């Protein structure tokens, strides 16, 4: 399982729908659409792998595959970086 | 949930904030949105500028689009740039290039947090200078050269699309490529001095279809999502296909007044001032105007049109300054509904304000097609 952290060039701003992430390097804006996803993104660096972060954020286990896909996409677009 | 739904509840802070620092300009472009020319004695002081940056930092506004006037004419421009970057507010600024010396270009290339946008309105001097004034093309391309030489990659070349330059889209793309820059195309609005030239310079219906196809073929072209009214032609264009005024976008003008978008410098769309108690934060979050703009709009005259979902009735500013009711069709509606609305509205155009235009002879003439 990969381990992630918020990319150091990304700013995260809480919003009613979740959060907005902005990358100061590539200047891309990303919508994060639910609070649990935001919690995972914020806390990912504290856990040894992605499943640890998902469990800590209270994501039900049956939803983990979907979240893993979303997180991999966030890593591709450099909102997250792999550790 | 759709992006539109998320945004309709209002954001804690704007995504795209335009901040015009001065009404002073060393050019007199015929289509200037803010009718710039002379500085205004009431413009924000350096201390007030820094105060706005402090607020933007607290609100976590990621970046601002700085413009004018010509923002680099302010003696404190470079200090503001440094202050913003130190306070985690990224800056993209628009300039005619006249102050982008080799030294300035090197300084700009040294940070990721500053982006530069050079304006040209023609792919050659003849076409450009008819809009922006004699010599302005050479000034702009010299600045582009300085940025490229300094290793500044992906700066922006910004073009307002007009009847006279719409056939040069490939030339603009080539110009951008030659400097390793990115092309940005935006829509001509009948705002500011643009109201005086819009009838002659806005693109024709046929040119709009050409432009739409070109944008679909060149999805990497930046547009500030300004052509969303063209999405009614079929496949939606990339980006946000709705009017972001007061929801995603707003404008702070040189004297600190806050407007719903950069194209509606008019009392009717003024939400407050950064000088008011509570500052910009309170204007953004609580002003009655912005609250109203965030409510679901009525489709009005467009309700029976099958394309309403695609174009959302078009641009509020384009309607307002051509006298069309805000729930009427866009004056450049791709289905032709704008033409009848324009005829009906011809008496209702808001009177033009001279703004900060310098008096004296107009330096350039327009309406002539380049050879």
CATH number at residue A77: 3.90.930.70
B257 and B242 Cβ atoms separated by less than 8 Å: no
B129 and B137 Cβ atoms separated by less than 8 Å: yes
Tokens of B167: 């056939």
**Chain A contact for B6 (CB, 8 A cutoff):** yes
Considering only CB atoms, which chain B residues are within 8 Å of A20?
11, 15, 62
Tokens of B173: 């793309």
Considering only CB atoms, which chain A residues are within 8 Å of B90?
24, 27
Token match 């009848």: residue?
B340
Tokens of B337: 């509904």
The answer to whether the CB atoms of B11 and A14 lie below 8 A apart is no
Interface test with A, best of B10, B11, B59, B62 (most A CBs within 10 A): B62
User: pLDDT at position B318, please?
Assistant: 97
Burial class (CB in 10 A: 0-12, 13-18, 19+), B239: middle
The answer to whether the CB atoms of B11 and A15 lie below 8 A apart is yes
Burial class (CB in 10 A: 0-12, 13-18, 19+), B210: middle
Supply the Cα-derived Rg of chain A in whole angstroms: 12
The answer to whether the CB atoms of A17 and B1 lie below 8 A apart is yes
Domain count, chain A: 1
**Chain B contact for A33 (CB, 8 A cutoff):** yes
* A·B CB contacts under 8 A: 38
Interface test with B, best of A11, A29, A38, A42 (most B CBs within 10 A): A11
Chain B residue with minimum CA distance to A17: B6
DSSP B256: S
Over its length of 371 residues, how does chain B's per-residue pLDDT go in tens digits?
466 666 766 799 999 899 999 999 999 999 999 999 999 999 999 999 999 999 999 999 999 999 999 999 999 999 999 999 999 999 999 999 999 999 999 999 998 899 999 999 999 999 999 999 999 999 999 999 999 999 999 999 999 999 999 999 999 999 999 999 999 999 999 999 999 999 999 999 999 999 999 999 999 999 999 999 999 999 999 888 888 999 999 999 999 999 999 999 999 999 999 999 999 999 999 999 999 999 887 889 999 999 999 999 999 999 999 999 999 999 999 999 999 999 988 878 888 777 899 886 545 544 445 44
Q: What is the dihedral of CA B346, B349, B353, B355, to 10 degrees?
A: -100
Nearest-Cα distance to chain B for A81, in Å, is: 18
**Chain B contact for A11 (CB, 8 A cutoff):** yes
**Chain A contact for B13 (CB, 8 A cutoff):** yes
Kindly give the interhelix angle for B125-132 and B136-149, rounded to the nearest 10 degrees.
110
Considering only CB atoms, which chain A residues are within 8 Å of B155?
none
**Chain A contact for B87 (CB, 8 A cutoff):** no
DSSP B236: P
The answer to whether the CB atoms of A24 and B112 lie below 8 A apart is yes
Give the long-range contacts of residues B137-143, CB within 8 A, separation 24 or more. B139/B96, B139/B97, B139/B98, B140/B96, B140/B97, B141/B97, B142/B97, B143/B95, B143/B97, B143/B98, B143/B100, B143/B105, B143/B118
Chain A residue with minimum CA distance to B58: A13
Q: What is the DSSP string of B63-78?
A: EEEEESS-GGGSTTHH
- Residue A43 has, within 13 A of its CA and on its CB side, a CA count of 16
Tokens of B304: 């029976």
Report the C-alpha gap between B189 and B298 in whole angstroms.
Answer: 22
Report the C-alpha gap between B88 and B178 in whole angstroms.
Answer: 31
Nearest to residue B228, comparing CAs of B215, B247, B246, B217?
B215
The answer to whether the CB atoms of B1 and A25 lie below 8 A apart is no
B42-71 in b/e burial notation, b at 16+ Cβ within 10 A?
Answer: ebbeeeebbbbbebbeebbbbbbbbbbbbb
User: pLDDT at position B365, please?
Assistant: 47
**Chain B contact for A14 (CB, 8 A cutoff):** yes
Which member of B3, B10, B113 has the closest CB to residue A24?
A: B113
Domain that holds residue A56: 4-82
Considering only CB atoms, which chain B residues are within 8 Å of A25?
112
Considering only CB atoms, which chain B residues are within 8 Å of A22?
62-63
Pairing of strands B182-187, B270-273: unpaired
B72 and B95 Cβ atoms separated by less than 8 Å: yes
Q: What is the dihedral of CA B359, B360, B364, B365, to 10 degrees?
A: 100
Chain B residue with minimum CA distance to A12: B60
The two most distant CA atoms of chain A are separated, in Å, by: 35
Report the C-alpha gap between A77 and A26 in whole angstroms.
Answer: 9
Give the long-range contacts of residues B239-243, CB within 8 A, separation 24 or more. B240/B3, B241/B310, B241/B311, B241/B312, B242/B4, B242/B7, B242/B312, B243/B312, B243/B313, B243/B314, B243/B315, B243/B316
Kindly provide the ipTM of the predicted complex, given to two decimals.
0.87
A20 Cβ neighbours under 8 A, 6+ residues apart: A12, A13, A29, A30, A31, A32, B11, B15, B62
pTM, 2 dp: 0.92
**Chain B contact for A24 (CB, 8 A cutoff):** yes
The answer to whether the CB atoms of A29 and B62 lie below 8 A apart is yes
Considering only CB atoms, which chain B residues are within 8 Å of A13?
12-13, 60, 62
pLDDT for residue A25 is more than 60: yes
């Amino acid at each position: 399982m990969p381990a992630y952290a918020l990319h150091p060039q990304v700013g995260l701003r809480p919003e009613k729908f979740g959060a907005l992430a902005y990358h100061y390097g590539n200047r891309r804006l990303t919508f994060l659409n639910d609070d649990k996803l935001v919690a995972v993104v914020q806390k990912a660096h504290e856990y040894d792998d992605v499943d640890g972060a998902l469990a800590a954020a209270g994501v039900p286990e049956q939803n983990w595959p979907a979240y893993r896909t979303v997180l991999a996409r966030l890593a591709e677009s450099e909102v997250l970086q792999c550790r | 949930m759709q992006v539109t739904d998320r945004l309709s509840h209002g954001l804690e802070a704007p995504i795209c904030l335009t901040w015009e620092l001065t009404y002073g300009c060393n050019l007199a472009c015929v289509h200037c949105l803010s009718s710039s020319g002379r500085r205004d004695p009431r413009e924000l002081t350096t201390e007030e500028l820094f105060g706005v940056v402090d607020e933007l930092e607290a609100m976590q506004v990621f970046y601002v689009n700085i413009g004018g006037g010509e923002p680099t004419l302010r003696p404190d421009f470079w200090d503001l740039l440094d202050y913003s970057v130190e306070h985690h507010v990224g800056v993209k600024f628009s300039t005619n290039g006249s102050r982008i010396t080799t030294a300035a270009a090197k300084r700009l290339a040294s940070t990721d947090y500053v982006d530069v946008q050079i304006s040209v309105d023609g792919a050659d001097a003849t076409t450009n200078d008819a809009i922006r004034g004699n010599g302005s093309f050479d000034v702009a391309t010299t600045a582009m050269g300085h940025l490229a030489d300094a290793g500044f990659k992906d700066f922006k070349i910004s073009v307002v699309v007009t009847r006279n330059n719409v056939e040069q889209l490939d030339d603009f793309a080539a110009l951008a490529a030659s400097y390793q820059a990115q092309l940005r195309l935006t829509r001509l609005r009948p705002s500011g001095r643009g109201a005086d030239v819009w009838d002659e310079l806005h693109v024709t219906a046929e040119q709009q279809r050409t432009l739409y196809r070109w944008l679909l073929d060149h999805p990497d072209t930046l547009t500030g999502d300004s052509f969303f009214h063209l999405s009614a032609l079929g496949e939606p264009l990339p980006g946000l296909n709705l009017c972001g005024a007061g929801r995603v976008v707003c404008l702070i003008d040189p004297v600190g007044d806050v407007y719903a978008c950069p194209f509606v410098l008019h009392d009717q769309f003024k939400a407050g001032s950064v000088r008011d108690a509570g500052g910009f934060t309170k204007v953004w979050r609580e002003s009655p105007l912005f609250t109203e703009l965030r409510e679901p709009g009525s489709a009005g005259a467009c309700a029976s049109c099958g394309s309403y979902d695609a174009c959302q009735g078009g641009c509020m500013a384009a309607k307002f300054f051509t006298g069309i009711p805000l729930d009427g069709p866009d004056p450049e509606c791709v289905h032709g509904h704008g033409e009848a609305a324009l005829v009906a509205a011809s008496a209702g155009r808001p009177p033009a304000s001279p703004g900060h235009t310098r008096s004296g002879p107009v330096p350039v003439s327009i309406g002539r097609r380049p050879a």
